[in-house]
Structure 1
Amino acid sequence: MTAPLTEEHDAVVTVTTVAREQIRPITSVVVDGEVHRLGQQRDFRRHPVLSAFLPDSGRPSFAWVRLRDGEELAVHRHPTPSMILVCRGTVRLTGETERSLAEGDVVCVPAGRLHGFRTDPGQEFHGLSVQFEGMGLYEDEFAPRAVFGAAGPAVTGAPRNGRTAPEPLAGLEALNDALAERHIRNDLFDLLRGGRLGRDPRMRDRFVRALHVWSCHFQRMLLARQAVCADPVLRQEYEEHLREEFGHDRLLRDRYGISGEVDDPVLEAACTWFVAQMYQLDEAQKIVTVHMVVETSGHLFGAAAADAFGRDAADDDFFTLHATADDEHREIGRHRLATLPSSEFPRLLAACRRAWDQIDLVHNRIAAWTVEGP
């Protein structure tokens, strides 16, 4: 369980743990108007407990990094020395020095030196990036301390399955990241951060009952998509996803003793929208709706709710499960999007915006029902 900060959020008052998935990730930055993919980067100072614990004097910075399945962090340089520890997997160091790295290897990068990292298709790399002066390289994702492309053209999309993602897909992913950033400021996240659910058992009961409505509709959404999918490759991926998610509504109901239905026509309508989309959208739009939007929302929500409820080490904890599993589910179907021509992306951008607006509506209605009740 993660121990809370003091009320002023200025000190850690007991031995405290922070799970990797609790640190808010970013997957891209914009430098000189171009989107650069990072794989996944979790700067420790984006978590309030870690930020309060790390000293400002000398100001070291730490970030979890991850690349997988042929992803690449393009060659770049930054104004501060950096140390990268390979914690798991393998990765190829690129730039001025070309070398294969394995678990336990340490890379020391002097300030201003060109370097990058690339995984092979099907491989994965988890590492720790450490700087010993100034801000972290991507601590402020809107003002990254990195210059890309000094050794050739900048990579604008994350390579997947050994191929660089087209620029339109990078733009779609950048929009998704921006709307996810907006999403964590909605009413439900404010409620989770405020601590009221931990202090008020009646409000806590209303919250899980309202959440159960969305959980049931999520199951129906996946079942509907599976029922109408005609593509054999996607159908197999969807089946595996459905198998991993199946029964989570019952898990939530049984774990928190939910009894009785929430009678809220607005919440019901907002949730039903996602089920209806599985009969109306094409497969690319469904991938955007389910995996770029809903699963990203689920990952962010799971981490925030696990903090609010007290992170449970049990394998069947509903919130901890979604904080971890949904991180992987976000990648399903991206290989299909990478094959689409640029003419397809305007409607995918529109689908992305609509789905984020709708999941915000679902979250805000759950928050309202939690606070106001029937």
Structure 2
Amino acid sequence: MEVIEREALEQITSVVVDGAVHDIGLLKDFHRNPTLAAFVPDLARLSISWVRLRPGEELSVHQHPTKSMIIVAEGTGRTMGDATTDIRSGDIVVVPPGARHGFVGTGPTGFWALSIQFEGTGLYEDPDNARVSFVGDRADIATIRAENDKYMRAYEGNALVRLIRDIDAQPVGVRESLLDHLQGWSNAFQRIIAARVVGEGDSPARALADEHLTEEVGHHRLLAAIRDGRDVPWDPVIAGVSSWFLDRMATGSSVERTVLAHLALEGSGMIFHAAGVHAFASSEYFRLHDGADAEHLEMGYRELSERRDWTVEQVSAALRQGWQMMELLCDRIADRARSAALADHVH
């Protein structure tokens, strides 16, 4: 693996056409660099994907059978695997077939990059049959990651996610009603992560629970700050789901608490808040979660990878229940947001 800095590429600023000199700004042709010219095939079936890693978020070290090129478009990060190098906007990472490589986002924003492959389908074009193998990943962790990824992809179609993505097109009052019903869940989430700390007692998992609580405490107040002091509506489904999670934090196993808190709650939160940060661009509540949820999701995978007191079957059962409850909760919030806004409009 090799990183080629943008400044290292030969540049031209003008061309001669029909005997006249024409300024073209600043151009750096990849084929004028010997390494890139040799790396990019003359005939290629291009697969191009945007990739984003938030601060601290990792794409674990992996390998694939085809060469790949990563062009950093914005922000900063670091490579892992065969080479550890800081990367920044404009850098080009060339990855030969079989090279061990991974990435982590750094700085205040992480990075955006273009991932390019030159033959065959894209590495993740078929998410259920990705053309990669992760290095050093326990087989059971890889299985759980894949299963949780499927739940997360399915959650992309949840009514609440679709509603917040289309919030500007909704009738008057839906935006405020959505925030009001979300507040009830946000308040309950604070109690849930606090109950997890109590449930862990003095076990080794207590440190993770403490860290999670420290990073989440008080976020419900950020949501309240953009709601102009309106009352929080009570709803039996939102209350019931909240009580179920509280019960699992009090009576479930340590592994179950980890799975529910990080893989289900933070996994769904990552998708929802990423949509919300565009719908509520000025809100600190959504901006803060958009950066933190991915890191909190990875906390859960790291905790599971360090433990041996669980089976895939046990974790799968907890995952299934957790995601069923989250789908129920979010469908209900979306339904109540629309219904309450409509009722207010009628009256």
Contact 2:270–2:289, Cα closer than 8 Å, also in 1: yes
Q: 1: distance between equivalents of 2:273 and 2:323? A: 17
Q: Which residue of 2 aligns with 1:16?
A: none
Q: 2: distance between equivalents of 1:226 and 1:184? A: 30
Contact 2:79–2:87, Cα closer than 8 Å, also in 1: no
Q: Which residue of 2 aligns with 1:106?
A: 92
Q: Which residue of 1 aligns with 2:220?
A: 249
Contact 1:223–1:242, Cα closer than 8 Å, also in 2: yes
Secondary structure at the counterpart of residue 330 of structure 1: helix
Secondary structure at the counterpart of residue 77 of structure 1: coil
* Alpha-carbon distance, 1:92 to partner: 4.3
Aligned match of 1:64 in 51, 71, 75?
51
Q: 2: distance between equivalents of 1:106 and 1:308? A: 33
Q: Which residue of 2 aligns with 1:267?
A: 238
Q: Please identify the structure whose Cα radius of gyration is greater.
A: 2
* Alpha-carbon distance, 1:253 to partner: 1.2
Secondary structure at the counterpart of residue 252 of structure 2: coil
Q: 2: distance between equivalents of 1:231 and 1:336? A: 16
Percent identity for Structure 1 against Structure 2: 26
* Alpha-carbon distance, 1:200 to partner: 3.1
CA gap of 1:212–1:73, structure 2 versus 1, over 3 A, is: same
* Alpha-carbon distance, 1:130 to partner: 3.6
Q: How does 1:231-250 map to 2 (within 5 A)?
A: 231-250=202-221
Contact 1:168–1:342, Cα closer than 8 Å, also in 2: no
Deviates more, 1:317-326 or 1:252-261: 252-261
Q: Which residue of 1 aligns with 2:76?
A: 88
Aligned match of 2:253 in 276, 279, 282?
282
Give the alignment's Cα RMSD to 1 decimal: 3.2
Aligned match of 1:306 in 258, 263, 277?
277
Q: Which residue of 1 aligns with 2:62?
A: 74
Secondary structure at the counterpart of residue 115 of structure 1: coil
Contact 2:238–2:332, Cα closer than 8 Å, also in 1: yes
Amino acid at match of 1:301: F
The structure richer in helix per residue is 2
Gaps in structure 2 of 5+ consecutive residues? 1-44, 105-109
**Superimposed CA distance per residue, residues 193-222 of structure 1 (whole angstroms, 9 cap, x where no aligned partner):** 333x55434112211111011001100101
Q: How does 1:342-361 map to 2 (within 5 A)?
A: 344-361=311-328
**Superimposed CA distance per residue, residues 76-125 of structure 1 (whole angstroms, 9 cap, x where no aligned partner):** 222x653455963443454xxxx443335633346xx33231579xxxx9
Q: 1: distance between equivalents of 2:332 and 2:127? A: 30
The question of 1:131 aligning with 2:116 is answered yes
Q: How does 1:9-48 map to 2 (within 5 A)?
A: none
Contact 1:209–1:258, Cα closer than 8 Å, also in 2: no
What TM-score do the two structures reach when normalised by structure 2?
0.72
The question of 1:116 aligning with 2:100 is answered yes
Aligned match of 2:139 in 156, 167, 179?
167
Contact 2:61–2:80, Cα closer than 8 Å, also in 1: no
CA gap of 1:296–1:72, structure 2 versus 1, over 3 A, is: closer
CA gap of 1:203–1:84, structure 2 versus 1, over 3 A, is: closer
Deviates more, 1:249-258 or 1:321-330: 249-258
CA gap of 1:165–1:210, structure 2 versus 1, over 3 A, is: same
The question of 1:327 aligning with 2:315 is answered no
Q: 2: distance between equivalents of 1:83 and 1:299? A: 24
Contact 1:91–1:100, Cα closer than 8 Å, also in 2: yes
Q: 2: distance between equivalents of 1:70 and 1:209? A: 34
Gaps in structure 1 of 5+ consecutive residues? 1-57, 149-153, 159-163
CA gap of 1:100–1:299, structure 2 versus 1, over 3 A, is: closer
Secondary structure at the counterpart of residue 64 of structure 2: strand
Q: 2: distance between equivalents of 1:268 and 1:72? A: 37
Contact 2:161–2:272, Cα closer than 8 Å, also in 1: yes
Secondary structure at the counterpart of residue 108 of structure 1: strand
Amino acid at match of 2:194: L
**Superimposed CA distance per residue, residues 164-203 of structure 1 (whole angstroms, 9 cap, x where no aligned partner):** 33211211111111011111111111212333x5543411
The question of 1:318 aligning with 2:302 is answered no
Instruction: State the aligned residue count.
Output: 288
Q: 1: distance between equivalents of 2:229 and 2:332? A: 18
Q: 2: distance between equivalents of 1:77 and 1:65? A: 22
CA gap of 1:245–1:66, structure 2 versus 1, over 3 A, is: closer
**Superimposed CA distance per residue, residues 200-250 of structure 1 (whole angstroms, 9 cap, x where no aligned partner):** 341122111110110011001011111232235422222222122111112
Deviates more, 1:335-344 or 1:284-293: 335-344
Contact 1:224–1:275, Cα closer than 8 Å, also in 2: yes
Q: 2: distance between equivalents of 1:130 and 1:206? A: 40
Aligned match of 1:371 in 322, 338, 344?
338
